[in-house]
Structure 1
C-alpha cells in the first residue's frame, strides 16, 4: 500500500510535510518508493530498523514531534499507519477532498487537547468497497507543541496542554484485512518478539481481553478459523463506499460521497435529514449526524 499511501498524503499535505519511519525494509520496490519520496521532499528515517523499534514506535513518534516543536512550524502532528487513509465524515457521506480535510483541521486550530479520529472503518475481507464500523477502535493526533505521550498504537495520544480529547469528524479508511493465510502470518510476525508468544493460546486469550493493547486486534486471527475471519464483521454496522474499492483507486476529490448502510435489518441509503428529523437531540451536534449514527445511533437502535 506504500505507493497509494505516499500519493494520497503527498497530495493532502505536500511531501515536505511527510516523515516516514522505515523499520528495516529490504524489499526492492519498497526501497525504491521511499527513495522516490525523498526526491519529492519527504523525510525518510532509516535509523529505527530493529524489530524492537516497531514495538516502541510511540516513543519514536513522540521524539520526532518534540524535534518539530524545537525547529519546525506546523499545526498538527498526525501519526498514521501505512494502511490508514484520512477522510472526513460529513453530514451526508465521506469526503476525501483536500479543502474539506483542511477545513476540519482548521476548525480545531485553537484546541489544546489531543484530537480523536472519530471512527475507524475497516475494510471487509473479500468485499471490496465495504467497510465495518468499529467504534471501540480509536486513534488520535495532536496539536503542535502539545505532545506528552504517544502509545504504540497511536490510540490515545496525550496532550501536555490539556487533559482528555476533542472529537473530530475525521475517520480512517483502514485497509487492515487481507487474505486469511497472509493475515495470520502478518499477525504472528507482529505479535512475536516483545509482545507475547503467538503460539501460546492462553496468553493470546489474556491479551485479547484487555482493550487497546498494541496489536490486540491481531490476536483473534490466531484464535479463529477462516470462516470466522470472513464473518467477523457480520454483527456490526457496515458501509458501502463504492469509490473506495482499493487504496490505489481512492480518489482525492470526493465531496460528500454517498454511503450505503447495511446491518441485520438490510441495506438502506443514509439520509441526514431523516435522521435529524427523527431525533431532535442530534441536530447541531458538532461532529454531525452521520458521525453520531456511526458512534452512537446504530448501537442505540435509532432509525431514520
Structure 2
C-alpha cells in the first residue's frame, strides 16, 4: 500500500486544525500526519492536538519560535530527510494548515480512495512532481472558489534536495524530468472575518519593518532585500474589507459544493471556515462536480456554465500550448474564454442565470 505523509506547521489554528486533520487523515491515516506546532497558546488548539496525538497523529512542539516559522522550509527538509533514512513512506506533501489536497483532472474529486489511487499510479515514476494548481475560497461566498496557478510542494521519498519557507520552490534529485500531477490544493485562506485575516497576517509579518502602515519599527525587525516579500499579507493592512471583497467581484470562479459536503461527511461544520453569507446554491447535475460561475449586474444575477476540462483543452490547442494557460486551461476560460464565447462543454449546454434573491 502506498504510504502518503502530510506535514504542516501551525500556530493557534483553532478553526482549521481539526478539519485539516480529518480531511488528510481520511486520505493518509492519522499515523501519517505530522503537525509542527509553532508555539500555540490557544487552549482549544492544545486540546485538539492532545486528542489527535492519542489517535496517532505526530505533534512536534520543539519548533515554537517566530524564527522557526521563518525557517519552516529547512525544518520540513530536516524532518523529511529523517523519514528518508527510516524508509517508511512513498510520498510527502508539505503544506499549510489552510490547504487541503484534492484531485482535479476531468472532474473535481475529494474522494480519499480516488486520491490514493492516483498516488499509487505515480509510485514508480522517477521525476520532479509539479503540483501548481489551487482553488482559493472566495471570501464570504460559501462553495465558491477561484482557480489559481501557484506552485506547491510534493516529494517522492528519497528525492528532496531543498525546500523554501513558502513551500513554493521544491527541489529534487530529478532535475531533467518534470511531471504535472492531477492534484490541487483547496486553499481556505480567506477567513469569513476580515479582522481574523489581519490577525493571522500580522503574526506572519511581524518580523518585517514597516509591514503594517502606521506602526513604528520595532527592535529586531528586518528590511527584506525583496520589497515584495509577503506582499499578499501586507495587502490586508493597505486595503479595507470592502476593497478586499471588491477584488473578487469581477472575475469568474467555480461553484463547488462538493467540498463543503465532504467536510460535513467528516463531521466538520464548514460554516466557521467558509462563511455564512447567502449566495445562490444551485444543485450540481454534472459529473464534473462543479460549475463555472460569474456575477452579473453587481451581484444581482449569477450565471452558471457547465465546464468540461478535457473537452476545453482538446478544443483549444492555442490554450494548451500557452506557457501559462497550458498548465490549467480552466484559467483561460475564467480570464478570457467565457467572454470570447468559447464552447465549455461538448454538448453546448447553455448557461443559466439565477437571481440573487437570498
Question: Shorter-chain TM-score category?
Answer: 0.7 to 0.9
Where does residue 199 of structure 2 map in the other structure? 185
Where does residue 279 of structure 1 map in the other structure? 316
CA contact (8 A) 1:148 1:160 kept: yes
Largest Rg, 1 or 2: 2
Where does residue 10 of structure 1 map in the other structure? 25
- Classify 1:119/1:235 alpha carbon distance in 2 versus 1 (closer, same or farther; 3 Å): farther
Tell me how far apart the structure 2 counterparts of residues 249 and 84 of structure 1 sit (CA, whole Å).
17
Higher relative contact order (CA 8 A, sep 6+): 1
Q: Deviations over 1:254-276 (max 9, x none)?
A: x9551111247843122347525
Where does residue 280 of structure 2 map in the other structure? none
Where does residue 100 of structure 2 map in the other structure? 85
- Classify 1:278/1:162 alpha carbon distance in 2 versus 1 (closer, same or farther; 3 Å): closer
CA contact (8 A) 2:30 2:57 kept: yes
Q: Deviations over 1:221-249 (max 9, x none)?
A: 12211111112223433111123248843
Where does residue 113 of structure 2 map in the other structure? 99
Tell me how far apart the structure 1 counterparts of residues 255 and 190 of structure 2 sit (CA, whole Å).
16
Tell me how far apart the structure 1 counterparts of residues 130 and 264 of structure 2 sit (CA, whole Å).
26
The structure 1 residue matched to 2:152, chosen from 139, 144, 149, is 139
The alpha carbon displacement at 1:159 in A equals 0.4
- Classify 1:44/1:155 alpha carbon distance in 2 versus 1 (closer, same or farther; 3 Å): same
The alpha carbon displacement at 1:158 in A equals 0.6
Q: Is 1:270 equivalent to 2:270 in the alignment?
A: no
Where does residue 166 of structure 1 map in the other structure? 179
Where does residue 42 of structure 2 map in the other structure? 27
The alpha carbon displacement at 1:65 in A equals 0.4
- Classify 1:276/1:65 alpha carbon distance in 2 versus 1 (closer, same or farther; 3 Å): closer
The alpha carbon displacement at 1:67 in A equals 0.1
Tell me how far apart the structure 2 counterparts of residues 219 and 249 of structure 1 sit (CA, whole Å).
33
Structure 2, unmatched stretches of 5+, are: 1-15, 218-223, 268-285, 297-302, 344-358
Where does residue 163 of structure 2 map in the other structure? 150
Tell me how far apart the structure 1 counterparts of residues 316 and 151 of structure 2 sit (CA, whole Å).
25
Q: Deviations over 1:99-154 (max 9, x none)?
A: 2111222232234433222411111111001111222x221211111111111111
Where does residue 261 of structure 1 map in the other structure? 292
The alpha carbon displacement at 1:198 in A equals 2.1
Tell me how far apart the structure 1 counterparts of residues 327 and 305 of structure 2 sit (CA, whole Å).
16
CA contact (8 A) 1:208 1:216 kept: no
Q: Is 1:130 equivalent to 2:166 in the alignment?
A: no
TM-score by length of 1: 0.84
The alpha carbon displacement at 1:45 in A equals 0.2
- Classify 1:256/1:3 alpha carbon distance in 2 versus 1 (closer, same or farther; 3 Å): farther
Tell me how far apart the structure 2 counterparts of residues 276 and 114 of structure 1 sit (CA, whole Å).
23
- Classify 1:115/1:80 alpha carbon distance in 2 versus 1 (closer, same or farther; 3 Å): same
The alpha carbon displacement at 1:82 in A equals 1.1
Q: Is 1:67 equivalent to 2:82 in the alignment?
A: yes
SS in 2 for 1:140: coil
Tell me how far apart the structure 2 counterparts of residues 227 and 120 of structure 1 sit (CA, whole Å).
24
